[in-house]
Amino acid sequence: MEANTTFEFQSPLLKPIKTGLENPTKDHVELGDPLSPMARLFHRPGSSLYIMGLLGSKTTIDPHHFKAGVESAFLAYPRFTSLLVPDKKDTFASDGSAKMRWVKTKVDIDQHVFFPKIEPKDTSHVGVDKFVEEYTREITGISMDMSKPLWDVHVLNLDKMTTQGAMAVALFRFHHSLGDGTSLMSLFMSFTRKASDPNAKPSLPVFSKRKPHTYSMSKIHKFLSSLRLLWNTLVDVLNLLATAFFLDDTSNPLKGPKDARQSPRRIILKSVPLEDIKFVKNITKTTLNDVVMGVIESALSRYLNRKYGEINQGGNKVKNSIGNLPQKLRFRATMYFNIRAVQGIQAVENMINKDSLARWGNQLGYVIYPFKIMMRDNNPLDYVYRAQTMMHRKKASMESYFSYHIGRFFLNAFGFKVASIPVNPTMWFSNMIGPQEEITIFGYPVAYLGCTCFGQTVALMIHVMSYADNLNFILSTDDDVISDPHEICNDLEQSLKVIKMAAVAKKK
């Protein structure tokens, strides 16, 4: 996007927003830190990967007050006052793989925080939920202006409350090269406060340390555990390389084309009670992640069973029908992991320390997670137990660490022509622990909170994030592939209900 241009929206509901710099180069200073290899991967030619933060405020937001808060919170950190330029030592190769550096620049907050004017008529005939959804979709189709720092915020003050209880919605766009979700969440937590105590920062989740092997463990047991780790890692790395180069998923109604990243994304947030997830966890003696993955596998099975039934019936709607799924269906997700030595959300002051074990940046690895798409109406808890087995298997491997270092090696050695995140799995998955209690941002009470990505190479991404008493499923979908993403949300909700009912029956 050129300087002094506007966001051009296709939807008649949305007004153009002025953006850009008067002179994007005059305030540059000397070259700074180079862009890390993983961050370069998110600037792959023909695509860029972004993080979208979703925040609902229970009250309307004052523009001047909010801008002052954002300016104070964001501009204290170098990445938010820097832009990217090609390294003087490099020229662009044919694949666009020149190294880049962060360059300090002056920031005009009015070029980063936007308050579009919304008239009552804009929301009256579609409803506020649909209006927010369409606005969000439109801005996911607009690349960021490289002549200024790669972030912005769009705040929608609404005339009616959304179904999630928000009178205003703030949409935070960050280019992924600024940092991963863990980095950005640490920053977010630094300028929010507990709703119950305006002077107290939100509680950071406490992660229990893994229990070390006891000295009483036999040498044979230790040897077998190490051998298992090595074998699992070898198998997983070979599978990772095969997936990167040729091993594709079965064509299915949720799998998009290889260039799906070029499409705008529809972003939908679905909340379920966190207490229900915990109840199932306690009954099945599994983890929260196991239950979440079981719910997702159940929901995907329901959705695909229905879709294949419609295909078999010539496009007609199918209800309460099972047995429509193909017998052999390879359906996998690229699942992202934080590979820092210290897990969880850390204080931002600690993360920006270059010597920190939880340093700022893109410290992401991934694993290839295979779903077993099938209907399990006889025992829905089997979804959770299978997820537990798969998660145990993935934990007994160093696949995520190898994926990170293999990606760096291929990028440095061969450039973007070889290095990329696998495009053959059907979907992406990521999760994050959010604030454990209700919070405020610059004094505004937060109704809901979530994040996801757009610009990815798949038609479906599911991000899971907790906030207070809720667990939020955030879907990022390609309309050209998935025309009914709300049905997936309904399937997630229904799957949790069915699994919880099975857990209640097991408890009796």
Question: Residue 171: pLDDT above 90?
Answer: yes
Least confident of 248-257, 348-357, 378-387, 420-429: 348-357
Question: In the chain, pLDDT over 90 holds for what percent of residues?
Answer: 65
pLDDT at position 381 over 80:
yes
Residue 318 pLDDT: 64
How many CA atoms are closer than 13 Å to the CA of 382, on its beta-carbon side? 11
Q: What would the mean pLDDT of 435-451 be, rounded to a whole number? A: 97
419 confidence band (pLDDT: 50, 70, 90): low
∠ Cα 30 33 34 (to 5°):
110
Residues 286-304: what's their mean pLDDT? 98
Q: How far apart are CA 341 and CA 357, in angstroms?
A: 6
418, pLDDT greater than 70: no
Percent of the chain exceeding pLDDT 70 equals 86
Q: What is the CATH number assigned to the segment(s) 219-434+458-507?
A: 3.30.559.30
Burial level of 237, CB count in 10 A (0-12/13-18/19+)?
middle
Give CA–CA dist 500/508, Å, rounded. Answer: 13
Q: Which pLDDT value is given to residue 22?
A: 39
- pLDDT-derived band at 177 (thresholds 50, 70, 90) equals very high
Question: Start-end ranges of CATH 3.30.559.10 in the chain?
Answer: 37-194
Q: How confident is the model at residue 90 (pLDDT cuts 50, 70, 90)?
A: low
pLDDT of residue 203: 83
314-336 per-position pLDDT tens digit: 766 766 677 899 989 999 999 99
Kindly report, residue by residue over 276-290, the tens digit of the pLDDT: 999 999 999 999 999
pLDDT at 61: 98
Check residues 482 and 421 and name the one with the higher pLDDT.
482
Sort strands 192-194 and 168-175 into parallel, antiparallel or unpaired: unpaired
pLDDT over 50 at 430, yes or no: yes
- Which whole number is the average pLDDT over 410-436? 84
**Residue 7 in this model has a pLDDT that exceeds 90:** no
CB neighbourhood size of 122 (10 A): 21
Strand order through the sheet with 82-86 = 31-34, 100-104, 82-86
Q: Which tokens hold the place of 254?
A: 């949720």
Q: What is the pLDDT of residue 48?
A: 85
Residues annotated as catalytic are 176
- Name the DSSP letter for residue 173: E
Domain with CATH 3.30.559.30 in the chain: 219-434+458-507
Superfamily, domain 37-194: Chloramphenicol acetyltransferase-like domain (3.30.559.10)
- Residue 148 DSSP label: S
Q: Residue 354: how many CB atoms within 10 A of its CB?
A: 8
Lowest mean pLDDT among 30-39, 64-73, 405-414, 417-426: 30-39
Q: Which range (143-152, 158-167, 308-317, 388-397) has the least confidence? A: 308-317
Q: How many CA atoms does the CB half-sphere of 77 hold within 13 Å?
A: 24
For 11-15, 303-307, 391-395, which range has the lowest pLDDT when averaged over its residues? 11-15
Question: Is the predicted pLDDT of residue 88 greater than 80, yes or no?
Answer: no
Q: Is the pLDDT of residue 165 over 80?
A: yes
The answer to whether the beta carbons of residues 13 and 135 sit under 8 Å apart is yes
Q: What are phi and psi of 403, to 5 degrees?
A: -60, -40
Residue with tokens 């929010």: 192
pLDDT in tens, 45-76: 666 899 999 999 999 999 999 999 999 999 98
395 CB neighbour count, 10 Å cutoff? 14
Average pLDDT over residues 493-499: 98
Q: What is the reported pLDDT for 98?
A: 59
Q: Looking at residue 81, what is its pLDDT?
A: 95
Residues 249-271, mean pLDDT to the nearest whole number: 90
Helix (H) or strand (E) holding 5: strand 5-7
Residue 362 or 356, more confident: 362
Q: Is the pLDDT of residue 468 over 70?
A: yes
**More confidently predicted of 415 and 383:** 383
* Statement: residue 125 has pLDDT above 70: yes
